């Protein structure tokens, strides 16, 4: 019924969306993560489904409800998200990396089990290693005809940072969001963005609900 009210301009297209945070466990009880709720990605996935796409969602540990025919692949860590995304990407027409992937992962506590705080005299023995960049890896194996959309979250120099990531990660479009304010970015209901594409097009979207921004992202991407 809902689909009947929406233009079906993604009919016959397959869309991969990653969303949510990742969790990097360093012992049996503790992890390193970020405050992403997955809301922006969930809105993009729903909008794609409404517009007729076949949708696969690779979801970090958050729970969103999707229509029954949306394929949901739950993951926890950045490494698991990497495997799931790289597995699905070759069969996708669009990839949208809305996930807030942890950039670093703490090395697991060598003893296994739970690290005891008293054993470290108050200083956790944490050592971090970088995770793989999933979006850049997808950009690296992108075929002609596939369209890759990245996000970026920035506290400053939104345009320069977004442009750099668009090029470096071989995206077709990037949606750059300011973070560090209460009315946009992580967990917010509304969002503000600068959309850039590889052809030099750019649009600025004011503070609008993420549901509406998701539709704008598809308008921007399908028509280019
Ligand atoms: N991304 C990814 N894999 C990572 C890190 C980021 O796929 N290990 C993706 C995000 O999903 C997003 C884009 O890359 O679509 C940009 O993420 P962002 O955190 O803004 O940029 P980074 O390249 O991680 O750089 P930094 O956090 O230092 O700004
Ligand atoms: Ca990052």
- pLDDT tens digit string along 25-34? 999 999 999 9
ipTM of the complex as predicted: 0.99
**Who has greater pLDDT, 189 or 51?**
51
Q: Among this protein's residues, is 34 annotated catalytic?
A: yes
Residue 58, helix vs strand vs coil: strand
> Rounded to an integer, what distance in angstroms lies between the CA atom of residue 185 and that of residue 100?
11
* Ligand in nearest proximity to the CA of 84: 1
Taken in order of first residue, the domains within the chain and their CATH numbers are 3-23+35-105+121-222 (3.40.50.10300)
100 Cα to the center of ligand 2, angstroms: 7
Q: Is 216 annotated as a binding residue?
A: no
166 close to ligand 1 (CB < 6 Angstrom): no
pLDDT of residue 109: 81
Q: Is 151 annotated as a binding residue?
A: yes
Residues 6 or more apart from 144 whose CB is under 8 A from it? none
> Rounded to an integer, what distance in angstroms lies between the CA atom of residue 95 and that of residue 118?
45
- Residues 212, 214, 216, 220, Cα dihedral to 10°: 180
Cα angle 115, 117, 118 (rounded to 5 degrees) comes to: 120
- pLDDT tens digit string along 68-107? 999 999 999 999 999 999 999 999 999 999 999 999 999 9
- pLDDT tens digit string along 171-204? 999 999 988 765 555 666 678 899 999 999 999 9
150 Cα to the center of ligand 1, angstroms: 8
- Rounded to an integer, what is the distance from CA 168 to the centroid of its chain? 17
Question: Ligand 1: which residue has its CA nearest to atom 24?
Answer: 103
Q: Is 103 annotated as a binding residue?
A: yes
| Structure tokens belonging to residue 139 | 């950009």
> Rounded to an integer, what distance in angstroms lies between the CA atom of residue 16 and that of residue 121?
46
152 close to ligand 1 (CB < 6 Angstrom): yes
Q: Which atom of ligand 1 is nearest to the CA of 137?
A: 7
16 Cα to the center of ligand 1, angstroms: 17
- Using a 10 angstrom Cβ sphere, with 0-12 exposed, 13-18 middle and 19 or more buried, the burial of residue 216 is middle
Q: Is 66 annotated as a binding residue?
A: no
Q: Lowest mean pLDDT of 62-71, 106-115, 143-152, name the range.
A: 106-115
Q: Considering 34, 161, 177, 191, which one is annotated as catalytic?
A: 34
> Rounded to an integer, what distance in angstroms lies between the CA atom of residue 188 and that of residue 190?
5
């Amino acid at each position: 019924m809902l689909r009947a009210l929406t233009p079906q301009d993604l009919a016959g297209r397959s869309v991969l969306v990653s969303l949510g945070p990742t969790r990097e466990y360093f012992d049996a009880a503790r992890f390193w993560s970020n405050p992403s709720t997955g809301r922006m990605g969930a809105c993009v996935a729903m909008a794609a489904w409404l517009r007729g796409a076949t949708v696969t969602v690779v979801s970090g540990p958050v729970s969103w409800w999707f229509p029954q025919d949306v394929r949901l692949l739950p993951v926890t860590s950045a490494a698991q998200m990497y495997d799931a995304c790289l597995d699905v990407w070759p069969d996708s027409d669009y990839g949208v990396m809305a996930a807030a992937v942890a950039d670093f992962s703490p090395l697991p506590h060598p003893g296994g089990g739970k690290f005891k705080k008293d054993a470290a005299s108050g200083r956790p023995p944490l050592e971090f290693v970088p995770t793989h960049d999933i979006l850049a890896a997808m950009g690296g194996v992108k075929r002609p005809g596939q369209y890759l959309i990245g996000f970026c979250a920035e506290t400053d120099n939104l345009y320069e940072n977004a442009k750099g990531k668009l090029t470096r990660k071989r995206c077709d479009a990037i949606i750059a969001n300011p973070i560090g304010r209460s009315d946009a970015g992580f967990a917010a209901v509304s969002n503000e963005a600068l959309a850039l594409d590889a052809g030099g097009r750019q649009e600025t979207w004011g503070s609008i609900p993420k549901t509406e921004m998701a539709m704008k992202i598809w308008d921007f991407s399908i028509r280019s």
